[in-house]
Amino acid sequence: MSATPRIALFLRAVGNEYQELVREDCRTAALRHGLVVREINAQNEAQRQIQQIQDCLAEPAALRPRAILVSPVEESGLRGLAREAARLGIGWVSLNRACDYLADLRREFPTVPLFSVHPDQDQVGRIQAHQLRVLLPNGGEVAYIQGPLTTTSAKQRAASLRNGLAGTDIQLTSFAGDWSVESGRLAAKSWLDLAGRTKAEGCVVAAQNDSMAYGARVALVEGALRASGFGLGKIPILGCDGAPAYGHRLVVERTLAATVIIPSPASRAVDELVAVLAGWRPPASDICLAVSPFPELAVLASAMRKGS
Count CB atoms within 10 A of the CB of residue 46: 19
Classify burial at 196, counting beta carbons within 10 Å of its beta carbon; exposed 0-12, middle 13-18, buried 19 or more: exposed
Q: Which of 177, 185, 189 is nearest to 146 (CA)?
A: 177
Count CB atoms within 10 A of the CB of residue 231: 14
Measured CA to CA, the distance from residue 263 to residue 82 in angstroms comes to 24
Q: Are strands 203-207 and 91-95 parallel, antiparallel or unpaired?
A: unpaired
Measured CA to CA, the distance from residue 225 to residue 233 in angstroms comes to 9
pLDDT for res 85: 98
Measured CA to CA, the distance from residue 168 to residue 160 in angstroms comes to 14
CA 11 to chain centre: 12
pLDDT for res 226: 74
Cis peptide before 295 (omega within 30 of 0): yes
pLDDT for res 25: 97
pLDDT for res 13: 92
Count CB atoms within 10 A of the CB of residue 228: 7
Domain architecture of the chain: domains with CATH = 6-118+264-289 (3.40.50.2300), 121-240 (3.40.50.2300)
Measured CA to CA, the distance from residue 118 to residue 284 in angstroms comes to 12
Measured CA to CA, the distance from residue 135 to residue 300 in angstroms comes to 8
Amino acid at the residue 70: V
pLDDT for res 1: 41
pLDDT for res 267: 97
- Using 50 as the pLDDT threshold, list the residues of the chain that sit under it: 1-2
Give the chain's radius of gyration (CA, Å): 21
Enumerate long-range contacts of 171-174, CB under 8 Å, 24 or more apart.
171/139, 171/140, 171/141, 171/142, 172/142, 172/144, 173/141, 173/142, 173/143, 173/144, 174/144, 174/145, 174/146
Measured CA to CA, the distance from residue 281 to residue 263 in angstroms comes to 25
Measured CA to CA, the distance from residue 164 to residue 16 in angstroms comes to 28
Q: Which of 266, 239, 268, 267 is nearest to 254 (CA)?
A: 239
Read off the pTM: 0.91
pLDDT for res 293: 98
